[in-house]
Amino acid sequence: MIKIAICDDDKSVITSIKEAITDFGAANSVEFEIHSFSSGEKLVESELNFDLIFLDIEMSGIDGIKTAKLIRPTARRSRIVYVTNHSELALQSYSVHPFDFVVKPFKRERITHVLGELMKYLADTAEPESVIQLKGMDGPLLLNLKNIYVFEYTGNRRITVYTKSETYCIKGSLSEIFSLIDSESFTSPHKSFIINMEHIDKLSGFTLYTTNGIEVPVAQKKLKEFHNAFSSFIKNYIKQE
């Protein structure tokens, strides 16, 4: 899940950017969590960390540049896109390391370009085991492994990928998926399923339940194997903590 903040005292600007993000996500199978703020003060008070922040430079109260300076010490990894009516004001923002600039009035394509650059940046800087590129029905699909709950093979080289709130259909086999995954968090308790053990809620009989309610069967002959895999995962998880 990619978290984005929009901070602007103009509601129409917030709406335009939010619609562009939503459409980009739907077109590219990317999950976004969007938060909007009507002032720099409210963004600072939120104390939330975001992957990307669209930040208006000229706002009543504290302006965008001061807002960025206030949040930067605790949000060093947040990429800030300054939104302004005057391109020359962008020059004042280099002290707080901008990711990009958007000059009003802007076209939706400008927001789409910024989001595309964000996706490239996240893919380039992500740890090798944290991102997986899959064969989506309409082209390449890039997902964070930590956000994947379950892979379910449905036949005819079709796999359903379940995340916390979305499902995707991809091409391939579960063996091909395992060859792409460089993570000990995933195991196969059944020939038709791969599950991310980070999201297991409970095991009841021969059924696993994820934290968002997905049910995954455990084959009887694989029960012991699953218990061993889950025990090993828990031990490694505790060590990392």
Q: Which CATH number do you get for residue 137?
A: 2.40.50.1020
Report the C-alpha gap between 206 and 192 in whole angstroms.
Answer: 14
Domain match, 157 and 198 both: yes
Domain match, 15 and 118 both: yes
* DSSP H or E stretch at residue 208: strand 207-210
Domain match, 146 and 119 both: no
Note the pLDDT of residue 126.
58
Which residues, at least 6 apart from 81, have a Cβ–Cβ distance to it below 8 Å?
52, 53, 54, 55, 98, 99, 100, 101, 102, 114
Domain match, 121 and 15 both: yes
- Structural domain total, the chain: 2
Give the domain extent around 104: 2-125
Note the pLDDT of residue 239.
46
Domain match, 85 and 174 both: no
Note the pLDDT of residue 97.
59
Note the pLDDT of residue 47.
82
Domain match, 7 and 103 both: yes
Domain match, 152 and 49 both: no
Domain match, 100 and 146 both: no
Report the C-alpha gap between 236 and 241 in whole angstroms.
Answer: 9
Which of 125, 160, 185 marks a domain boundary?
Answer: 125
Domain match, 97 and 136 both: no
Rounded alpha-carbon distances, angstroms, from residue 36 to 56, 72, 213? 12, 18, 29
Tell me the pLDDT of the chain (241 aa) as tens digits.
Answer: 899 999 999 999 999 999 999 999 998 888 899 999 999 999 999 988 899 999 998 888 898 888 988 987 777 778 999 898 865 554 454 445 578 888 888 999 999 999 999 988 887 765 544 778 899 888 888 888 889 999 999 999 999 999 988 899 999 999 999 998 877 899 999 999 999 999 999 999 899 999 999 999 999 999 999 999 988 887 775 544 4
Domain match, 121 and 136 both: no
